[in-house]
Structure 1
Amino acid sequence: MGMRSTGTPKHAAAERVELESSELAASSPPSAHARLMTWVWTLVIALFGGLLRFVRLGQPRAVVFDETYYVKDAWTMLNTGEPMSWPDEVSLGGQMVPVDTAFADGDTNAWINTAEYAVHPPLGKWLIAAGLKLFGGAANPAAWRAATAIAGVLGIVLLIRITLRLFRNLPVALLAGLLMAIDGVSIVMSRTGLLDIFIMVFALGAFSLLLIHRDWAAARLRMAAQSGANRPPQITFSWWRAGAAVLLGCATGVKWSGIYFFAVFCVISVFWDAWMIRQAGFRSPRQWLARGVFGDGLLAALYMVPLYAATYLLTWVGWFVHPNSYMRNWAATHTGQGVQWLPADWRSFVAYHAEMWRFHTTLDAPHDYKANPLTWPLQIRPTSFYWQKLDGHPGLCSLSPRSQCVAAVTSLGNPLIWWLGSLCAVLAIVIAILKRGDWRIWAVLAGFLGGWLPWAQYLNRTTFTFYSIVLLPWMILAICYVFNWVRETSSREVWLITLWVMVGVCAIVSVFFYPIWTAMPVPYEFWRMHMWLPSWI
């Protein structure tokens, strides 16, 4: 009788050295104290960012830019269950004034009993409505913006935790959170009742869950490789991935642009898993390519796509419940039109979506602050949300009593953060190539691929630079990627000097721009000093 072999399978023995040096190599878990300190510092940065967002949140006391759509829609949804139309003017004090002026002055119930044509899904407006409900109603401008301010703080927390999971270094993670806390686009979008910051937060939350899934899958593959398994373990399904699909459905329930994040994140997650299967020593194309890419991708789609779609549809429950919602009865008045095999309610729903699609794909109305998507990373044409001459000389205007006093809200990012981030995005790709591959580069590029590149198909559409809020976290991750490389390849002294100089200069620039991000009264000349480029005016 022959003797049974007691050695490990051939593939495991051959790949053991590579496994120990690869990204699947086990790292020592941080101590309980170290984990606690990461959360303490996370909350410190979040508190700092919260102060920048919540202090004077009710200023300006005016309906700012597209708040005219989303805040008023949210208020009528809170009161009637659906967005309602508003007149252009209402009577206030015996005079006809713009409805936005009356709304800001407290006349918040002048809507018309006609459903509003809303061109975005309802979830973002329901979130604004929740802020209105919890923080004092439409009479309090801070309540209009409470939900977005909370979202802005959550974005800081999520970015810190994502960066910590990527680079396993607390200073690099805190750098990410601090840059998010002090950036102008983040501050302005947190202090304005618009929708886009919700997409950013849902996308960050989903990406964080996919990173947790990746760590979970890596641990399972590491155990399989070390035990000498002949085939990779099941890593297709995890509740982390399922949760990511739900959050991405929520992102799409705010604006349709969330679908791009869903597509990009899913593809990257599947390829991460396939590459880790190969790294674990399962080198057969049948194991890592056929099973990892095609098998895992198909099986992941079988549960992620339905979860994503179901979540998106759930955001429309209010539309189905209310019989007078916009186009709710379209099928009844358009007999023989639409998708005939669907029930009437669903025919109306599909027709409404077709109407929204036509709006979004054909919108080319002229606008003073229209900005080509290719210019967003460099903040070439920021959006002026609010600009007003003020009577008297309040606030900083008292320092220049002969000057005209003005207040502005300009959705302009900290120029150094955005310009440096654009440069670092390119440098990060070069570094990853020189290192012969680094999975983290896809974490950096994910936001560019999902939040920016798809807009290249709409270069002639009316778009605005403030849409780039969804790009900001990945712009910051590009900076962190390069600074982490500096940390790994330089002396501690060089690393710390580089870090503190960059943080200090960016902080000074943010202090300089903060008044025109938050409608602080300033002399006209002071505002003009901030217009570094003619296109910023």
Structure 2
Amino acid sequence: MNRAWTWGAPAAVLLLAAVLRLWNLGNPHSLVFDETFYVKDAWTLWNNGYETTWGDGADEKFNAGVTDGFTTDPSYVVHPQLGKWLIALGMAAVGAQDSFGWRIGVAIAGILIVLLVMLIAKRLFGSTLLAVIAGILMAIDGHAIVLSRVSLLDNFVTLFTLAGFGLILLDRQRNLPRLQAWMARKRAGLSEEDDGPTWGPTMWGRPYLILAGLAFGLACSVKWSGLYFLAAFALYVVVMDALDRRRVGLPFWFSAAVLKQAPATFVLMFPIAAVTYVSSWFGWISTRGGYYRDIVTAESGTRWTGLFSWVPDWFQSLWAYHVSAYGFHVGLTTPHSYQANPLSWLIMWRPTSMFYQGATNGDAGCTFDSCSSAITALANPLIWWGGTAAVIYLVYRLVRYREWKVGFILMGMVAGYVPWLMYLNRTVFQFYGIIYEPYMILALTFALGIILGKETDTPERKTTGIAIVTCFGILTVLLSIFFYPLWTGMQIPYWYWHIHMWLPSWI
């Protein structure tokens, strides 16, 4: 029975996540929201090795199954290629004419995110029950479902950054015992190292850090926002190394972490991330037609001189491309009806409408006076607002108790959310928050675990905790059932769509 619970319950959650993301995935059979960029770019990338332009009326023709209307002229894109390659794999496997093929890549990423959330929760909390709770919350949340059913890049960034987060956790739980064992040997006179117990060893044997660097490099290869996770968790590792050295009794713990271990951490994480990122541009590098591909040549007079004159032209051209793309990113202020200030993301003030189609009686199968079909990146309110409240609680708890697990979860929020506060005047959207949603889920799960109580609590306390969490779970599931049509483009009566618009800003 224990094995059935340990393996069967997470498997059931994963099956639920798959059904919610894969059912009727091809609906609507039309490019929605920014699929017009990423799906078509992915297909030209697959065929040409770089993103190219399309002729007039490209969206309408693509929706109708005419998928060869691209040219060989380069298209200016501002995101790396990996996410589009992953979209293209699904299109190549299923067929570019099939909207299911456009979206299967992001759907698989969404299912894997649920799996990683459960694995991380189990490792972090040591409880199958809490792992299942975290998995269910991620599986049934509308924001996560929509981002797994619309072919954008953000689900891939979330997957890779979450993988890096999990690998940092594995390193964290492995490194302290190794440091304690080293200190024990040193004190017992069994170590032959001559650097004394004042600094401690340089910990090179940390394979999980290398893999974390790879994961964060893959995230950067989809969107540059992955770089925030690489920087944040490299800093986190240095800080925790310092605290671990202090915990085992090393006198010069701070200088050892900063001057001795930090350079090693940099070598373990950053080179592999950089190589991974540059490698993700292999299509652009190996062909000649990409945008800015040959902007730097001996004839152009733009080659670097002096110390860096040896750098290959392709790399100098790639650098010039990145400088241009960075200027685009930081300067994007084009107004959009669904743009959302990052300060409002945690309260879900302006969720993104990805698709909306109205119909009247007799039109497109509508059997009511008026109908609506919508795909709105609107989270389950109880999960999102509960997650926000839990994050605030964890901030208090970190200050009050200084628990490393709490700090670790909050570091995910810092890496995923705080950097966007630098772009309050830029055109950004609520759905970017998918990158930090797993950490909101982990925060909420931690809070629910506190409510459930400990083994040593009184029976009355346990009963109360179970009742509260059970009621929360039932209400959450009912809300997801209530909102599900708005996450999947189902045709519903207009009045039913309207009663979901709880805030005027959601319309």
What is the TM-score normalised by the length of structure 1?
A: 0.87
State the number of aligned residues: 488
Paired AA for residue 224 in structure 2:
W
The answer to whether residue 95 in structure 2 is matched with residue 128 in structure 1 is no
Q: Which residue of 2 aligns with 1:339?
A: 304
The answer to whether residue 388 in structure 2 is matched with residue 449 in structure 1 is no
Q: Which residue of 1 aligns with 2:212?
A: 244
Query: Deviation at 1:183?
Result: 0.7
Q: Deviations over 1:211-240 (max 9, x none)?
A: 111121133134345554574455344111
* Residues 334/445 of structure 1: CA separation in 2 closer, same or farther (3 Å cut): farther
* Residues 34/290 of structure 1: CA separation in 2 closer, same or farther (3 Å cut): farther
The answer to whether residue 485 in structure 2 is matched with residue 515 in structure 1 is yes
Q: Which residue of 1 aligns with 2:445?
A: 480
Distance 2:288 2:3 in 1: 51
Distance 2:56 2:503 in 1: 35
Q: Which residue of 2 aligns with 1:526?
A: 496
* Residues 334/155 of structure 1: CA separation in 2 closer, same or farther (3 Å cut): farther
- Aligned partner of 1:414 among 372, 380, 387: 380
Query: Deviation at 1:338?
Result: 5.7
Distance 1:333 1:188 in 2: 48
Distance 2:299 2:114 in 1: 48
* Residues 80/335 of structure 1: CA separation in 2 closer, same or farther (3 Å cut): closer
The answer to whether residue 236 in structure 2 is matched with residue 271 in structure 1 is no
Q: Which residue of 1 aligns with 2:37?
A: 69
Q: What is the SS of the residue equivalent to 1:331?
A: coil
Q: Which residue of 2 aligns with 1:282?
A: 249
Paired AA for residue 282 in structure 1:
G
Distance 1:138 1:199 in 2: 23
Contact 1:198 1:254 in 2 (8 A): yes
- Aligned partner of 1:113 among 54, 72, 77: 72
Q: Deviations over 1:138-159 (max 9, x none)?
A: 1110110001000000000101
* Residues 214/415 of structure 1: CA separation in 2 closer, same or farther (3 Å cut): same
Distance 1:334 1:366 in 2: 40
Q: Which residue of 2 aligns with 1:14?
A: none
Distance 2:125 2:465 in 1: 15
Paired AA for residue 350 in structure 1:
W
Q: Deviations over 1:290-344 (max 9, x none)?
A: 2234421121102311111011001011111011111111113972336342332
* Residues 502/338 of structure 1: CA separation in 2 closer, same or farther (3 Å cut): farther
Distance 2:177 2:126 in 1: 16
Contact 2:209 2:268 in 1 (8 A): no
Q: What is the SS of the residue equivalent to 1:452?
A: helix
Contact 1:85 1:114 in 2 (8 A): yes
Distance 1:41 1:402 in 2: 40
- Aligned partner of 1:296 among 252, 261, 269: 261
Say which is worse superposed, 409-418 or 385-394, in terms of deviation: 385-394
| Aligned residue runs from structure 1 range 2-81, under 5 A | 37-81=5-49
Distance 1:185 1:242 in 2: 31
Distance 1:165 1:407 in 2: 40
Contact 1:329 1:348 in 2 (8 A): yes
Distance 1:263 1:167 in 2: 25
Distance 1:35 1:266 in 2: 37
Paired AA for residue 456 in structure 1:
L
Q: Which residue of 1 aligns with 2:155?
A: 197
The answer to whether residue 391 in structure 2 is matched with residue 425 in structure 1 is yes
* Residues 418/245 of structure 1: CA separation in 2 closer, same or farther (3 Å cut): same
- Aligned partner of 1:214 among 156, 172, 181: 172
Task: Give the ranges of 4+ consecutive aligned residues of structure 1 lying more than 6 Å apart after TM superposition.
Answer: none
Query: Deviation at 1:412?
Result: 0.9
- Aligned partner of 2:55 among 81, 87, 94: 87
Q: Which residue of 1 aligns with 2:357?
A: 388
The answer to whether residue 241 in structure 2 is matched with residue 259 in structure 1 is no
Query: Deviation at 1:113?
Result: 2.1
Query: Deviation at 1:481?
Result: 2.0
Distance 1:441 1:35 in 2: 29
Q: Which residue of 2 aligns with 1:139?
A: 97
Q: What is the SS of the residue equivalent to 2:372?
A: strand
Q: Deviations over 1:138-182 (max 9, x none)?
A: 111011000100000000010111111111111111111111001
Gaps of 5+ in 1: 1-32, 90-98
Distance 2:245 2:95 in 1: 53
- Aligned partner of 2:321 among 352, 363, 369: 352
Aligned Cα root-mean-square deviation (Å): 2.0
Contact 1:125 1:195 in 2 (8 A): yes
Paired AA for residue 178 in structure 1:
I
Distance 2:360 2:368 in 1: 12
Q: Which residue of 1 aligns with 2:278?
A: 313
Query: Deviation at 1:42?
Result: 2.0
Query: Deviation at 1:35?
Result: 7.0
Distance 1:283 1:268 in 2: 19
Distance 1:65 1:38 in 2: 40
Q: Deviations over 1:10-39 (max 9, x none)?
A: xxxxxxxxxxxxxxxxxxxxxxx8677434
Contact 2:38 2:84 in 1 (8 A): yes
Q: Which residue of 2 aligns with 1:104?
A: 63
The answer to whether residue 465 in structure 2 is matched with residue 495 in structure 1 is yes
* Residues 474/484 of structure 1: CA separation in 2 closer, same or farther (3 Å cut): same
What is the TM-score normalised by the length of structure 2?
A: 0.92
Distance 2:6 2:166 in 1: 16
Paired AA for residue 75 in structure 1:
W
Distance 2:122 2:232 in 1: 22
Distance 2:317 2:397 in 1: 51
Contact 1:393 1:405 in 2 (8 A): no
Q: Which residue of 1 aligns with 2:344?
A: 375
Contact 1:394 1:521 in 2 (8 A): no
Distance 1:79 1:444 in 2: 41
Q: Which residue of 2 aligns with 1:12?
A: none
* Residues 338/368 of structure 1: CA separation in 2 closer, same or farther (3 Å cut): farther
Contact 1:176 1:480 in 2 (8 A): yes
Distance 2:469 2:205 in 1: 39
Query: Deviation at 1:378?
Result: 1.3
Gaps of 5+ in 2: 189-195
Paired AA for residue 33 in structure 2:
F
Q: Which residue of 2 aligns with 1:506?
A: 476
Say which is worse superposed, 471-480 or 150-159, in terms of deviation: 471-480
* Residues 455/214 of structure 1: CA separation in 2 closer, same or farther (3 Å cut): same
* Residues 60/434 of structure 1: CA separation in 2 closer, same or farther (3 Å cut): same
Distance 1:235 1:37 in 2: 38
Q: Which residue of 1 aligns with 2:191?
A: none
